[in-house]
Amino acid sequence: MHRKRLVLWPYLLILPALLTILAVVFVPVLKALLMSFQSYDLRRPHRIRYTGLENYGEAFSDPLFWQALMKTAIWVAAGVGMQFIFGFMLALLLNRRFPGRGIVRSLSLIPWVTPGVLIGLMWRWIYDGNYGVLNDLLLRLGLIHDKIPFLAQQSTAFPAVILTIIWQGIPFFALMLLAGLQGIPEELYDAADVDGANAVQKFFRITVPSLKNTIFVTTLLRIIWVANSVDVIFNLTEGGPAYSTQTLSVYVFNKGNTLNLGYASTMAILLALALATVAVPYLRILFRQQEAG
């Protein structure tokens, strides 16, 4: 009897957390999955019914869906890629000793702690084609001869929103990689010095392998977050002009806002599947390397 109670005890302890997760994660996911098989449009509540794979068929024949998917791939690849590169550079810089390092470390976090909505609004005015500070700066430097309506042209709107997300995400990588850098034993570098290794060799033979797990986890997290992020794009452009900045998550948000919840759920499920195809092999490689290591 006593042994039985002991076996049950851990399950009882995790039960509140499990029930909470079920209520706030699994139930909505299940509901979204069910809605993806329904014509669930609150503008036409009397026509809500199960339609099987109709929404999926509609998505696959919707040019805007494919365009948004392509935009998402570019958004994630360019956004996360650049965040990683610049974040790594910042981490290496902040890992060195120099006067005022504490202040620089604190200041570098500002973009990361600023809410996405605020970032969107702030950059909207920075990019403004009439009064924006970026245009003013470029004109003063003589790099342009006339103001550029960055967010009003399809050719510049998407690079502009990508630049904004890069700016936002650099501190996250810098912070995580800095923590990783500080965990690398100094002895490794000392030994490499004794062996006559140069800076590049030390970087690729010691620093990068030591940070491998951190790089894998942070990159994966950022891929998921950036792919799902709506706030920055929505507040900058709402997905325009002419859908040129509409990623899949923004398309889902726009459809959801117009209350076509069935179609929005379908695209959300497809986005989740697309992310899973990236995340699962990624995690597999990570775990395999950990086991091997």
Partner 1 sequence: MRYRKTFLFMMLLGIMATFTLGAQTRPVTITHWYWADNPNYSKVMQQIAAEFNATNGKGITVVAQEYPWDGGAYSETLFRAVMGGGGPDTSSFKLTSTPLFTANGLLVNLDPWLAKWPDRDKIDASLYNTMRKASGTNSVYVMPWNTQVLYVYYRPSMFRRMGVKVPTTYEEFLEACRKLTFDIDGDGKTDVYGFGMRGARGGHEPWGSFIQARGGTFEDFTTPQAIAGMQDFIDLYRKGYAPPTAPMDGFNEIIANFKSGKTAMTIHHIGSSIGMIDTFGTDVDAFPFPGGVGRWTSMGDTENVMLKGCKERDAAFEWLAYLATGKGQEMWCTATGNVPVSKDVQKLPFFQNNRFMKVSIEGAPYAGIFPILDTTTEWISTIWPNTVAAALTGKMTAAEAMRQLQKGLWGK
Nearer to partner 1, 202 or 238 (CB): 238
Q: CA-based angle 213:69:85, to the nearest 5? A: 35
Nearer to partner 1, 124 or 212 (CB): 124
| DSSP letter assigned to residue 247 | -
Closest Cα partner for 244 from 108, 118, 151, 148? Answer: 151
CB of 151 to partner 1, least distance (A): 5
CB of 143 to partner 1, least distance (A): 16
Q: Could you give the CA distance from residue 246 to residue 56 in angstroms, rounded to a whole number?
A: 19
* Sequence-separated (6 or more) residues with CB below 8 Å from residue 161: 75, 232, 233, 236, 237, 245
Query: CA 124 from chain center: how many Å?
Result: 20
CB of 197 to partner 1, least distance (A): 52
Site for partner 1 in 3-62 (CB under 8 A): 42-46
Query: Does 290 sit near partner 1 (CB under 8 A)?
Result: no
Instruction: Annotate each residue in 233-252 with x if it binds partner 1 (CB under 8 A) or - if it does not, as one string.
Output: ----xxxxxxx--x------
Closest Cα partner for 94 from 2, 175, 204, 1? Answer: 175
Stretch that binds partner 1, among 55-63, 107-115, 148-156, 204-212 (CB under 8 A): 148-156
CB of 98 to partner 1, least distance (A): 42
Site for partner 1 in 254-283 (CB under 8 A): 254, 257-260
Please give the backbone phi and psi of residue 41, each rounded to the nearest 5 degrees, phi first.
Answer: -120, 110
From 36, 128, 163, 166, residue interacting with partner 1 (rule: CB under 8 A) = 128
Q: In the numeric block, which tokens belong to residue 97?
A: 């000793």
Nearer to partner 1, 60 or 125 (CB): 125
Q: Three-state SS for 147? A: coil
Site for partner 1 in 155-174 (CB under 8 A): 157
Q: Is there a contact between 170 and 89 (Cβ–Cβ < 8 Å)?
A: no
Q: Is there a contact between 250 and 233 (Cβ–Cβ < 8 Å)?
A: yes
Binding residues for partner 1 (CB under 8 A): 42-46, 128-131, 146-147, 149, 151-154, 157, 237-243, 246, 254, 257-260
